[in-house]
Chains A and B, each alone.
Chain A
Amino acid sequence: GENVEQHPSTLSVQEGDSAVIKCTYSDSASNYFPWYKQELGKRPQLIIDIRSNVGEKKDQRIAVTLNKTAKHFSLHITETQPEDSAVYFCAASYGKALTFGSGTRLQVQP
C-alpha cells in the first residue's frame, strides 16, 4: 500500500516568514495529493490539493509543488500569520482512501 512520509514534524517561524513542509510517497500510481490543516480540537480541513497532471498550484499565500519523478510534494506558505499555526497533513491516493503523512505542527511566532 501507499506510504507517505512528512517532514519536519515541528516547524517554528516568525510572523511574515515563509514555511515549507515536505512529503514523499511510495506508490507511483498515486495521482491526488491534498493538504489538510487541523487546528487544535477541530477537524482536518482541505486547504489546497494537486493532481499528478500538474506540477504546481497556487492559492494566495499557499502553493503546492509536485515532482512525480522523485515522488515528492511540498507545501509552501508565504507571509505567515499567527492564524496559520496548526497541524498540517499531506496525503496521497490513487482513487482509494487517502493515506496521510504524520503531520507537521507549525507555530508562527508574532
Chain B
Amino acid sequence: DTAVSQTPKYLVTQMGNDKSIKCEQNLGHDTMYWYKQDSKKFLKIMFSYNNKELIINETVPNRFSPKSPDKAHLNLHINSLELGDSAVYFCASSPLSTGELFFGEGSRLTVL
C-alpha cells in the first residue's frame, strides 16, 4: 500500500496550458506539503496545509493554487504554465508529533 501517492507521475504539456497534480496520503497525517525540485536538485517548499488549512505559502506565483478537500488530499493546480515551471513536484505528509516527511514518488512536469 502506497503511503503517499501522487498522480500523474509524468506530465508533458505546452506553455500556457493549465494542469493539475493530485496527492493522497493514507498515513493519517495532519500536515501535507508541496515541494518543488528543480533541475539542480534544489528542494524548495511551496505550500503546507495542516488539517485542510493553509499554513505556509512561500513566494510562489499565484498561478499555483493548492486545494485540500480533506486532510488526506492535497492537490496542486497550475495555470498558464511557463517553461520555468518544468520540475519535479513532490507531495509529502508528516505527523505533528515528529515532523518527519514522507514523500510521494514525485510528478515530473515538462513544459514545452
Contact = CB atoms under 8 A, between A and B. Distances in A.
A and B pair up: yes
Nearest to B48: A97
A60 to B, nearest CB: 19
A107 B105 CA distance: 23
Contacts of A36: 101
Given A98-B45, A99-B45, A43 B106 contact: yes
Interface in A15-45: 32, 34, 36, 38, 42-45
Nearest to A93: B99
B26 to A, nearest CB: 16
A49 B99 CA distance: 10
Which of A44, A45, A97, A99 counts the most chain B CB atoms within 10 A? A97
Interface of A: 32, 34, 36, 38, 42-46, 49, 87, 89, 93, 95-100, 102-103
